[in-house]
Amino acid sequence: MSAPSHISAPKLWIVLARAYGSASAYVQRAIAAQGLCLSDFMVLEVLLHKGPLTISAIGDKVLLASASMTSAIDRVEQRGFVQRTTCSSDRRIRLIALTPAGRHFITDLFAQHQQDLELLTAGLTETERKHLYSGLKKIGLTAQAATVPDLPQDHIKFS
């Protein structure tokens, strides 16, 4: 597959958005096959890799709003995958931690998730992976740092 000599920013955006949409749908189907939605998976995954955390800390890691976090934690708690505990140094703080059953479940599921992602990226050489990683990181950091100037309402027109 050869790329054109020049790829415009809008063309790159379309390819990026479509690739993300396709990969995201694939991952969400695989996770749904295990009876989870993506937010439930993200909660379990962050607890697997970061250990017990507060609801707000989990939300910061997985970029979910507080209400969504509470719902996701309620769902995985009902399945016996997490438990809420009080912090020993500050009883006002509630920590969310994996139960042994939750640790077993997410460890197996995350291993399958890694295999799924490897399958999706199998067509890339190591050099292409490095270039893609570097390029996406640059786009993300540039977008994060960018500000949109205030424009008059009549400047933006939708047809």
Residue 115: the pLDDT is: 96
Q: pLDDT by residue (tens digit) across 96-128?
A: 999 999 999 999 999 999 999 999 999 999 999
Q: Which helix (H) or strand (E) holds 84?
A: strand 82-86
Tokens of 3: 């790329």
Q: pLDDT by residue (tens digit) across 46-98?
A: 999 999 999 888 988 887 777 788 899 999 999 999 999 887 787 788 899 99
Q: Pick from 64, 74, 57: which is nearest to 42 by CA? A: 64
Amino acid letter, 116? D
Q: Pick from 126, 120, 110: which is nearest to 19 by CA? A: 120
Reduced to 3 states (helix: H, G, I; strand: E, B; else coil), residue 52 is: coil
What CATH architecture does domain 9-122 belong to?
Orthogonal Bundle (1.10)
- HSE at residue 29, side-chain half, CA atoms within 13 A, is 8
Task: Tell me the C-alpha distance between 74 and 58, whole Å.
Answer: 13
Name the pLDDT band for 2 (thresholds 50, 70, 90): low
Name the pLDDT band for 1 (thresholds 50, 70, 90): low
Tell me which of 1 and 44 has the higher pLDDT.
44
Whether residue 18 is predicted with pLDDT greater than 80 in this model: the reply is: yes
pTM here? 0.79
Residue 159: the pLDDT is: 45
Where would I find the H helices in 8-147?
Answer: 9-32, 38-50, 55-62, 66-78, 100-120, 126-145
